[in-house]
């Protein structure tokens, strides 16, 4: 199983790092804020462990911490091989309330990410489609981002929370290097079809919530299916590692961006890239929730 894949002309290790949890469970206005020094330490340790793909967003912030600014403090000057991906369309105001950008407002969101990260361009920007537009047109927003790509503010474009139809619409406007969608054990048939389509097109498929599943932002559920626990026991691994390994087994074009603010969990997540499941184990886990 290959250990790297590409985002356009950028090659990254298939286990990356998602920055959402760096600001603690208060990232979206509720819960407990993270410890600043601990979050900075997790980022630096991720790089030491070989992570070269960090996924973030300007709307990842809590009352006292911003993921983008933590990344800048921890990692700038950035390693030459570090790829930072971010996402636009959603935004949050100072109070934490959500808003959704019009096409002409995307430049401001891109510039916010540039300023917070201390970059002169963004490696990959994902257009994160709002739930209300899950089956609607996205062409105007893609066109606006394509113009920013032509202006040199963005190197590559991706799309997030999309359907096969929206992928086709975006690719008719500009090159797309990745699709970032929720995906994990028990994913619906439509999502599995999109994953296969990306593989056929050579586009990276980047699942989020691969560990959390239906728990989403709240994290993984306490109770794991017995099938996941059995595979974990067979390999001396954690259920989270099994979920990540299963995700990577879905195709060489599949990347993973597990997020954590815990140094121990970080090491486990990176180690999951070396976990090899048998064909029977992959099939057994794939069957969960798909009948």
**Three-state SS across 33-93?**
ECCHHHHHHHHHHHHHCCCCEEECCCCCECCCCEHHHHHHHHHCCCCCCCEEEEEECEEEC
Mean pLDDT, residues 17-27 taken together: 82
Position 200 confidence tier, pLDDT thresholds 50, 70, 90? very high
Q: Which pLDDT does position 24 carry in this prediction?
A: 79
| Per-residue pLDDT at 108 | 98
Q: What is the mean pLDDT of residues 58-78?
A: 95
The predicted pLDDT at position 216 comes to 45
Q: Is 175 left (phi over 0), alpha (psi -120 to 50) or beta?
A: beta
Across residues 110-136, what is the average pLDDT? Answer: 96
What is the pLDDT at residue 226? 95
Say how far apart CA 88 and CA 6 lie, in whole Å.
Answer: 21
Percent of the chain scoring above 70 in pLDDT: 92
Task: Verify whether residue 60 is a known catalytic residue.
Answer: yes
Q: pLDDT tier at 134 (50, 70, 90 boundaries)?
A: confident
Rounded distance, CA 246 to CA 273, Å?
A: 10
What value does the mean pLDDT take over residues 141-146? 98
> Residue 236: is its pLDDT beyond 70?
yes
* pLDDT, the chain, mean: 93
- The confidence score (pLDDT) of residue 27 equals 55
Nearest to 217 by CA among 59, 111, 40, 99: 59
pLDDT at 220 over 70: no
- CB distance 86 to 66 below 8 Å: no
Query: Quick one: average pLDDT of 129-133?
Result: 94
Give the span between the Cα atoms of 178 and 198, in whole angstroms.
8
| Statement: residue 244 has pLDDT above 50 | yes
Task: Set out the domains of the chain in order of their start, with CATH numbers.
Answer: 10-286 (3.20.20.100)
Q: Look at residue 262 and tell me whether its pLDDT is greater than 60.
A: yes
Report the pLDDT value the prediction gives residue 209, as an integer from 0 to 100: 80
Report which of residues 212 and 279 the model is more confident about: 279
pLDDT-based confidence at residue 63 (cuts at 50, 70, 90)? confident
Residues sharing a CB contact under 8 Å with residue 58, sequence separation 6 or more, in sequence order? 66, 68, 86, 88, 91, 109, 112, 113, 116
Confidence band, pLDDT 50/70/90 cuts, at residue 136: very high
- The whole-number pLDDT of residue 193 equals 97
User: At residue 95, does pLDDT exceed 60?
Assistant: yes
Q: pLDDT grade, residue 31 (50/70/90)?
A: low
Least confident of 81-85, 151-155, 220-224: 220-224
Residue 191 has pLDDT above 70, yes or no: yes
- Per the residue annotation, which of 5, 60, 183, 205 is the catalytic one? 60
pLDDT of residue 29: 52
CA-to-CA distance for 127 and 57, rounded, in angstroms?
Answer: 11
């Amino acid at each position: 199983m290959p250990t790297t894949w590409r985002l356009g002309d950028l090659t990254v290790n298939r286990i990356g790092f998602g920055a959402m949890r760096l600001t603690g469970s208060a990232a979206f206005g509720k819960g407990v804020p993270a410890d600043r020094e601990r979050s900075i330490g997790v980022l630096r340790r991720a790089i030491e462990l070989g992570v070269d793909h960090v996924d973030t967003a300007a709307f990842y912030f809590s009352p006292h911490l911003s993921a983008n600014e933590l990344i800048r403090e921890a990692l700038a000057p950035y390693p030459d091989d570090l790829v930072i991906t971010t996402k636009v369309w959603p935004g949050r105001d100072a109070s934490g309330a959500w808003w959704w950008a019009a096409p002409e407002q995307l430049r401001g969101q891109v510039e916010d990410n540039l300023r917070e990260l201390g970059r002169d361009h963004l490696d990959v920007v994902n257009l994160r489609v709002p739930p209300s537009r899950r089956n609607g047109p996205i062409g105007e927003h893609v066109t606006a981002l394509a113009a920013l790509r032509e202006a040199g503010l963005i190197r590559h474009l991706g799309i997030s929370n999309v359907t096969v139809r929206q992928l086709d619409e975006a690719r008719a406007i500009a090159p797309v290097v990745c699709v970032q969608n929720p995906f994990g054990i028990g994913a619906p048939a439509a999502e599995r079809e999109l994953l296969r389509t990306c593989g056929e097109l050579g586009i990276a498929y980047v699942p989020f919530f691969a560990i959390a599943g239906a728990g989403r932002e709240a994290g993984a559920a306490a109770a794991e299916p017995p099938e996941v626990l059995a595979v974990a026991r067979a390999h001396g691994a954690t259920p989270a590692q099994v979920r990540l390994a299963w995700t990577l087994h879905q195709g060489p074009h599949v990347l993973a961006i597990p997020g954590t603010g815990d140094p121990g969990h970080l090491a486990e997540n990176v180690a999951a890239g070396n976990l090899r499941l048998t064909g029977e184990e992959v099939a057994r886990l794939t069957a969960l929730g798909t009948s």
